[in-house]
Each structure stands twice: as C-alpha cells, then as structure tokens.
Amino acid sequence: MDRPEEPAGAVPPPSAPLVLRGREVGRDGRAVRPVVMAVLNRTTDSFYAPARVPDDAAALAAAERAYADGAEILDVGGVRAGNGTPVDEAEEIRRVVPFVAAVRRAVPDLLVSVDTWRAGVARAAIDAGADLINDTWAGHDPGLVEVAGAAGVGVVCSHTGGAVPRTDPYRVEYPSTDDQDALLGDVVATLRAAAERAVACGVPRASVLVDPTHDFGKNTWHSLRLLRRTGALSGLGFPLLMALSRKDFVGETLDLPPEERLEGTLAATAVAAWLGARVFRAHDVTATRRVLDLVAAVRDEAPPAAALRGLA
C-alpha cells in the first residue's frame, strides 16, 4: 500500500501529471508546478462567505481575477456541500451552466471544473464547455462518471466513507491497529476502484484525479492522518487533488473560524505539496500560488522567479 521508505533527505515522488483536454496542467517548459484550482460557489450559503458569488457579473470578475492570480482551474459549485436549503437539479443547472459558458467565452485558457454529484448537471455543464467534473460525493450517482467518460472530460474520484450528499459526519470510525491503518486502507481501496472504473468508462487515465476528501465522512483526527500519509496517496498512479482550504479540520486543529484559517491552510498545503500532491483546491489563490511555487523550487521542479543574490 505504502511506498518504500525514502532515503533521508530524498524528495518524495510526485503524483502523476494531470492532463485535461490534451494539456498537461502545471507544466511551463521544463518547470512543473502544482496546480491551483480556485473555488467559486454560485450559492448564498457556502461555509466560507467570500466564496459565495451568486451575482453573475461579480462571479465573472472573480473568475478573471483567479486566472490572473495564478489559478489554472476554476471549480464552480451550485450547492452547499453540507446541510442547507434544498437545491434541485434544475436550480443547480440554472446557477452553474450559463456561468460555465460565460467563463469559457471570457477566459478561454482557464480550465473549468464543476462541483456536482448529479449526472444531469454534469452533462449540461460539459455541453457548456466544462473540462472536469468534481464528484465530491464519491459516485453517489453512478451515471456521472459514465457521462464524463462519454465526453472524454476529466473527473475527480473522492472518498466519503459512505456518506451521502449534503450530510455531515457523525462518530465515523476507521479502527486502526499498530500494523494496519484502516482509514488509509479504505481511502486507497475506494479511490483506486473509483479511478479504474472511470478509466473503464472512457475517462483518459491522466484526466482522473483522486481526492481523499478531507472532512467528508471524517473527523479531524482522520483528516490529519490522511494529510500525514499524502505520500501513500500520491503513489496511486493518478493525479492527487487536495481540497484543504479553510476546512473544519484546520479550524478545529487551531480552534479558529473559517475566516481565520488561512495560515493553517497554507501550512497543510505546503506539507501536501512536499509529499507529492498535484492539484490544490483553494479559496485564496495568490497565497496558495506563492506557497506552491516555493515548494516546487525546494523540490527542484521549478526555478526561482529571480535568483540574483550573490550574482549581481
């Protein structure tokens, strides 16, 4: 399950490259940097208020700003992940699909992801130009990956421990012993099976991301343990997505509300990037981009932007 121990001082191997629509995301010549996926929610009730952008003009401006700040992917959501006001499929499509088309016209180089568990929403979003479907509810609708495969777009395979959409975890257990980590085993097995099914359904292997899905079906101890074991997840053979931004496990670890979780998020981001994660879903694009660029330079995957000290 785990890779062999690396020699002291060795750089952990990265997860597999991500390719969407034939483009290796994050590569610039010889440099390979982790990828920022900016969060934009077309909702009024998502847990982090600054990410709620229901107004069309403001949302398009936010998409343009995210691209200018260094995001290569924009993840658009139409339904709050946790408990909240019911949103049916028609309303989710209304919130998301015309906006996807608008982003495609206004920022053609920005890849667009849609955060949905519904196959019907995925189909409409792909028709509007979406490049990736972010299924954060672990195949709750088994038809979703078939829709992605038929269109040849990317898909995110996630782990929720069996939780169903829009529910919060309650006393979830993954018992561990000294010689076996049941949580990691369950996450690895679930992600591997989902990713291979996506490939079988027609999604290009390099366009299948795996996401351990921190907080979903997990308590804070679980999420911290998965962050610590990022290297094992990077070794699954698929691009590894980390959605860490301002999540509850960060807040509970530091006893902070969502609006004060930036530093904790960036610390978790740096750890995961060093251990090989490829894509980072983020509310704070500029700060995340800078952290990832520094880690890429330390890993010797990308050069410093300016290296003049001692030379000029």
* DSSP for 147-192, written as a single string: HHHHHT-EEEEE--TTPPTT----S-----BTTB-HHHHHHHHHHH
> Beta 23-25 vs 208-211: how paired, if at all?
unpaired
Domain of 126 in residue numbering reads as 31-298
Per-residue pLDDT at 173: 86
Per-residue pLDDT of the chain (312 residues; tens, 9 = 90+): 455 555 656 899 999 999 999 999 999 988 899 999 999 999 999 999 999 999 999 999 999 999 999 999 999 999 999 888 899 999 999 999 999 999 999 999 999 999 999 999 999 999 999 999 999 999 999 999 999 999 999 999 999 999 999 888 889 888 765 556 899 999 999 999 999 999 999 999 999 999 999 999 999 999 999 999 999 999 999 999 999 999 999 999 999 999 999 999 999 999 999 999 999 999 999 999 999 999 999 999 999 999 899 987
Nearest to 76 by CA among 110, 105, 108, 120: 110
Give a yes or no: residue 19 inside a domain. no
Residue 281 is among the residues annotated as catalytic for this protein: yes
Give a yes or no: residue 101 inside a domain. yes
φ, ψ (nearest 5 deg) of residue 187: -65, -45
CA atoms of 127 and 149, how far apart (whole Å): 13
Strand partners, 37: 73, 281
Task: Count how many domains the chain has.
Answer: 1
259, two tokens: 């609006």
Q: Among residues 247, 261, 278, 289, which one is catalytic?
A: 247
Give a yes or no: residue 17 inside a domain. no
φ, ψ (nearest 5 deg) of residue 152: 75, 20
Per-residue pLDDT at 1: 47
Give a yes or no: residue 20 inside a domain. no
Q: Among residues 123, 218, 261, 281, which one is catalytic?
A: 281
CATH code for the domain of 82 = 3.20.20.20
From residue 84, give the alpha-carbon distance in Å to each of 54, 57, 103, 214, 304.
16, 25, 27, 20, 44
Strand partners, 114: 76, 133
Q: Structure pTM?
A: 0.94
From residue 43, give the alpha-carbon distance in Å to each of 39, 95, 198, 259, 292.
12, 8, 28, 17, 28
Give a yes or no: residue 309 inside a domain. no
Give a yes or no: residue 132 inside a domain. yes
Whether 296 and 277 have beta carbons less than 8 Å apart is answered as no
299, two tokens: 């890993």
φ, ψ (nearest 5 deg) of residue 137: -115, 30
Residue 23 is among the residues annotated as catalytic for this protein: no
Give a yes or no: residue 312 inside a domain. no
CA atoms of 248 and 165, how far apart (whole Å): 17
Per-residue pLDDT at 201: 98
Give a yes or no: residue 292 inside a domain. yes
Per-residue pLDDT at 228: 97
* Rounded CA Rg of the chain: 18
Q: Let me know the angle formed at the C-alpha of 12 by 183 and 286, rounded to the nearest 5 degrees.
A: 90
